A and B are shown apart, each in its own frame.
Chain A
Amino acid sequence: MEFSVLIGGEAGLGAFSMELELTDILSRLNYYFFATKNYMSRVRGGHNFHMIRIADHSVHALTGGSWDMIVALDEETEIRHRVHLYDKGLYLSPTLIGEVAREAREEFHDVTVSNTILVGVILAIIDVDTERLAAVTESNKLKYLRRGFKYAGQWEMAGIFPIPSKAGCHYIFDGNKAIALGSLLGGCQFMAGYPMTPATSIMHYFATAAMSLPAHFEQAEDEISAINMALGASYAGVRSMVATAGGGFALMQEAVSLAGMTETPIVIVVGQRPGPATGLPTRTEQGDLNLVLYAGHGEFPRIVFAPGTIGEAIDVTRKSFELADRYQIPVFVLTDQYFADSVQLMEEDLPVSVPAREYGIFDRAYQRYALMETGISPLTFPGLFDAMVRVDSDEHDESGTITEDLDLRIRMVDKRLGKMTLLKKDAIPPTFYGDSEAGTILISWGSNRLIVEEAVDKLVAERIEASALHFGQVYPLSNDMIAPYQLESKTIICVENNGGAQFACLLKKEFGLHATHNILKYNGECFTVEEIYSRVKLLLSPEVEE
């Protein structure tokens, strides 16, 4: 059982407030839901819409297709979305909503409570038990929600789409919250940043958390400064991160190279949005994989994660700090606007332990870049012991002094690049979903994972053989990661939210694997289950087979 609702209106009319109020109550009532948004780069006006899927089972994607209900706060919503209303669907017109607003103003002397009343209408439609609602809602809000139930009764909508609440104890997260929490769990105590959609809320969460935790957020004058501050803090001994969007990251690239040369640990979160340049600031895309893979001049190792679930986002962000430290490299978490702004339930337990950081004791003989058998130089920080910590962006000798000794240069390059072998051994394997015998495999990375998995379910339900493989680590890749899946013998469909099939190209480069088909989308919106399902079905139909 499922119910999907779209709430649309120009910015400032309250569509977002309704999403927040509705999802907050749904969470308190232990409903399974998934919510995401499509908004314009403006604070007032324009056309924004918020999409909420409520179900009696765990849901983590938009289904696509028609809506069970549309709440049209303005005419634009009617014009754009009404055609996508299910034929027995419910429609709240701007006129009807205008009446609710009028009554709110007259009776409650506050027009904004009409949004809460409309949330009440939705709760009545899915047949929320009023006693349970009363138990979880603040009393001042309850009267407005009850008024919504009354309207639903009058409009003969109450209980039309009954959904039982089946979720257990859970947390609600959007992707950025998950990353911010993951950073704290990774022991991150310093973040510097310059606001840029869709990464800004990571900074908000971190800055707010830093009010009561031993952590610091610094707003920098630009992204160049932000990443250099983070490198300074990391050099001084504090686990550090930055978060930005593709454009901001473009500015950070020289310092990524600095991290590579100075072997300073850092975690860099890149929230993708459609480019080039300013592109579509508030929409989604997976167009910056190549940017992140190759960012920074010169040769140095890196790791790139692209989490596909809330749990994975928390885990890989946390692990990023450990790996950045262990290998003294930049580690990336690549995400996007869709994942950043989608609200999801997580029922698994949160890992709350924070790993303790250890460092050795060194005397004056300490050399920051000592060539060791392990391939990793000893890391320590200034002011702890007699050791002087000397770090240089020029090629340097073991002590960190500038050198133009070209034989030493070779040993230093070998040391830095030698870490790649170690990184490959530590790589997180991709996640397989479905029947390993299926002849078709859908490959995805980053935020598409759960959309693809649901599409696989839908295909399998129609006896179309399909499975899915999701890469939560996109770099480095190793043969061990794909060895179990006999990819050479399968029809590979690569699903990506970009126009250039960047990950498919990487698979070809790294493994010589050729994607049979690419399913790409680059209009600024996320995939829906329906979309992937129907495109796969079309690709696999006999007429299309080569």
Chain B
Amino acid sequence: MIKKTDITWCPGCGNYAIRDVLEKVLHELPIPRKDIAFTSGIGQAAKMPQYLEVNYFNGLHGRSLPLAVGIKLARPDLTVVSYSGDGCLYGEGGNHFIHAIRRRLDLTIITSDNQIYGLTKGQSSPTTDFGVKNALDPRGNENIPLNPLSLAINMGAPFVARGYAGDKDHLGGIIREAILFKGTAVVDILQPCVSFNNINTYQWYHKRVFKVDNTPADRYEAMKLAEQWGDKIPIGIIYRDDKAECRELAKIFREPLTEADIREHLAMKCVMMR
């Protein structure tokens, strides 16, 4: 078991709540722990798999998704979850975020989105609001924030949700649905950073978040919901398409190449040689 004292997050960090939720969801899932593999990048959120009873590959900053894609392609039998922060998944790994969704794999992509870089101490992240002053933006962030939900819907993700670390039960339901969903499920979690983000606090979120009761079936309606930000911030499953088809994957693990394969292959005329 993991001792709480070994956890390196700041006291009060939203990630503690998310960890509790994940442990509970994983405990209740009808999937043996040995069949669950997490990948993560680098950052405070990316430490998450360390504190869970799962297989994990904690890789490079921004690269949790290519690892997850590789694992899933090699082992469709594993339940694969990519977990990282907003800087890692939407900044350094933004290109992978776009293209991993296009691959139509049964993956769950979860982001602890605190709208700030925590581990490097308070710089703007891709989701930092316009004008917010941060360590490297002393005059205020000049960039428009990235909207992970509308981007995910745009790229064709069939399951797109937003959770909030301040509402554990609601978040648990979303994560459970996301992992069980057959297809690429994107979950962005609003996660207050108590050390470096004094704007997007628990109080700030409490006043703004509202639960989506009816998930739009229409992609364009979902897009409108995903674009909502500011005074009213929707949480819940923003878009869900149960009819979307996953890619068929060939079984390769435990089906090793054999001498017969190679002989047959060599006999095939134009592939390798005559």
Which A residues are closer than 8 A to B by beta carbons? Answer: 24, 27-28, 171-173, 177, 180-181, 184-185, 187-190, 192, 205, 208-209, 212-216, 218, 220-222, 224-238, 240, 254-255, 258, 262, 350, 352-354, 356-357, 381-394, 400-402
Q: Pick the contact of B273: A28, A172, A215, A388 (CB < 8 A).
A: A172
A231 and B70 form a contact (CB under 8 A): yes
Interface size on B, residues (CB 8 A): 58
Q: List 28 A-B contacts (CB under 8 A).
A: A214-B255, A215-B252, A215-B257, A216-B250, A225-B99, A226-B66, A228-B66, A228-B67, A229-B67, A229-B70, A231-B70, A233-B71, A233-B73, A235-B57, A240-B70, A258-B63, A262-B59, A354-B259, A354-B261, A357-B256, A381-B253, A382-B55, A383-B77, A384-B34, A388-B34, A388-B55, A390-B50, A401-B6
Residues of chain A lying within 8 A (CB to CB) of residue B77: 383
Given A212-B268, A262-B57, A388-B33, decide whether A232 and B258 contact each other with a Cβ distance below 8 A: no
A255-B60, A393-B42, A402-B50 given; 16 more Cβ-contact pairs under 8 Å: A172-B274, A180-B272, A184-B257, A184-B265, A208-B271, A209-B265, A215-B252, A231-B70, A232-B69, A235-B57, A236-B70, A354-B262, A382-B75, A383-B35, A391-B57, A394-B58
Q: Judge whether B139 is part of the interface by a CB distance below 8 angstroms.
A: no
CB distance from B84 to the nearest CB of A (A): 13
**Given A221-B98, A229-B66, A235-B57, do A354 and B73 touch, yes or no (CB 8 Å)?**
no
- With A229-B66, A383-B37, A383-B77 in contact, is A213–B58 under 8 Å at CB? no
Question: How many whole Å from B103's CB to the nearest CB in chain A?
Answer: 8
| Chain A contact residues: helix, strand, loop or mixed | mixed
Nearest-CB distance from A313 to chain B (Å)? Answer: 13
Question: Do A254 and B71 touch across chains, with their CB atoms under 8 A apart?
Answer: no
- With contact pairs A237-B74, A388-B34 given, residues A402 and B47 touching in the complex (Cβ less than 8 Å): yes
Residues of A with C-beta under 8 A to B72: 232
B78 close to A (CB within 8 Å): yes
Q: How far is the CA of A190 from the CA of B253 in the complex (A)?
A: 10
- Residues of B contacting A180 in the complex (Cβ-Cβ under 8 angstroms): 272
User: How long is the Cα–Cα vector from A200 to B70 in the complex, in angstroms?
Assistant: 20
Which listed residue, B33, B37, B55, B74, touches A216 by the CB 8 Å rule?
Answer: B74
| Residue numbers in A under 8 Å from B74 (CB-CB) | 189-190, 216, 232-234, 236-238, 240
Rounded to whole angstroms, the CA-CA distance of A233 and B99 in the bound complex is 17
Residue of A nearest to B75 (CB): A236
Instruction: Flag whether B96 is at the interface (Cβ < 8 A).
Output: yes
Least CB distance from B214 to A in Å reads 35
